[in-house]
Amino acid sequence: MATRQARRQQQRAGQRRGGRPSQRGRPATPWYLGPWGLGAAVLVIAVVVVAIVVSNNGSSNAGGSFDNKPVPKSILTAVTSPGQSELATVGSGGVPNPWTKIKGRQTPFTLGGKPELLYYGAEFCPYCAAERWGMIAALSRFGTFKGLGLMKSTANDVFPSTNTFTFRHASYTSPYLAFSAREVEDRNGRALQTPTAREQTVINRYDKKPYSTQALGFPFLYLDGKAVGNLPSIAIDGALHANTTDPYSSALSWSQIAGGLVNAGSPQARAVFGNANWITAGICRVDGNKPASVCSAKPIPALEAKLKF
């Protein structure tokens, strides 16, 4: 789990170690006094225009050509419409139960009269990157996403440049569940979205031991005031890279990951759908097991029976 303080500091330190080019000093003689002044002026203007165009198209150092671009239909279909046979065959996929019951009597965490799932994460975070695949697969069984974008985790951390999605501009509608997502920092660790006061209260209270491995860690899931999702994202991250046991191996492409989801025996399907099935079981527990077509389908009843809340 990445922490908002330590992980951000590590990531920023990694950027500095990566050797960003420093700004060049000013020349001793002003450019406009030189023989090529007019030509240099035109060149500078052209460079500025190109830089603006590149930045506006998301391909500057702030992100890349992938940054928050719409998800291709083939990738979107693979993650939002998984086959029931693959989900049933995967079961837990070897992914441990991620849900931890909140101690004591808690006020239900609802929005619009529906149980709410809160996600607190960041675009730079490699563990969030892995987590979003399973979250999207699970939540798509209860409702519909709009505005999902492509994203990569930072290149300066374990599981570098994990291909994933962002909830930055996404919306979600469901008759059964409310979903709130906060991507609090972008891929470069810069402030992005701010939790509401209500959301920050539960983040401060429960995104710490014994519910989370580290205080204010990413990713953090809070479900209806009943459970915290402290998810085994390291194992899931490995499945999204070329070598599942090497945290610095090259990342699989979105297409490679999506292609693995059609094979229930692949590392990608076991990690992503195993995680998705656990998340689905948690949602079924708090929404009255609706819809029945989802909550009664294998392996959800068996996984739900193992939940402690």
pLDDT tier, 20 (very low <50, low <70, confident <90, very high otherwise)? very low
Tokens matching residue 187: 């891929």
Residue 123, CB half-sphere, CA atoms under 13 Å: how many?
A: 27
Q: Does residue 286 belong to any structural domain of this protein? A: yes
Parent domain of 132: 73-304
Position 226 in a domain? yes
As a whole-number percent, the residues of the chain with pLDDT over 90 amount to 74
Mean residue pLDDT of the chain comes to 84
The number of folded domains in the chain is 1
Listing DSSP states for 170-226 in one string gives -EEE-SS-EEEEEE-B-TTS-B-----HHHHHHHHHHSSTTTSSSTTEESEEEETTT
Over the stretch 214-258, which tens digit does the pLDDT of each residue have? 899 999 999 999 999 976 678 899 999 999 999 999 999 999 999
Q: Does pLDDT of 149 surpass 90? A: yes
- Does residue 244 sit within a domain? yes
In a domain, 46, yes or no: no
**Span 256-273, average pLDDT:** 97
Please indicate, yes or no, if residue 17 is contained in any of the structural domains.
Answer: no
pLDDT surpassing 70 at residue 78? yes
- The pLDDT of residue 295 is above 60: yes
At 190 the pLDDT is: 97
- Which of 240, 239, 218 lies closest to 229 in space, CA to CA? 218
Q: pLDDT confidence of 85, banded at 50, 70, 90?
A: very high
Asked if residue 216 is part of any domain, the answer here is yes
Q: What are the helix and strand counts (H, E) for the chain?
A: 11, 12
Give domain status of residue 20, yes or no.
Answer: no
pTM for the structure as a whole: 0.81
Q: For 116-140, what is the mean pLDDT?
A: 97
Query: Can you give the pLDDT at residue 67?
Result: 87
Q: Taking CA 219 as the corner, what is the angle to CA 264 and CA 18, rounded to the nearest 5 degrees?
A: 100
Least reliable range by pLDDT among 47-51, 136-140, 214-218: 47-51
Q: Is residue 63 part of a domain?
A: no
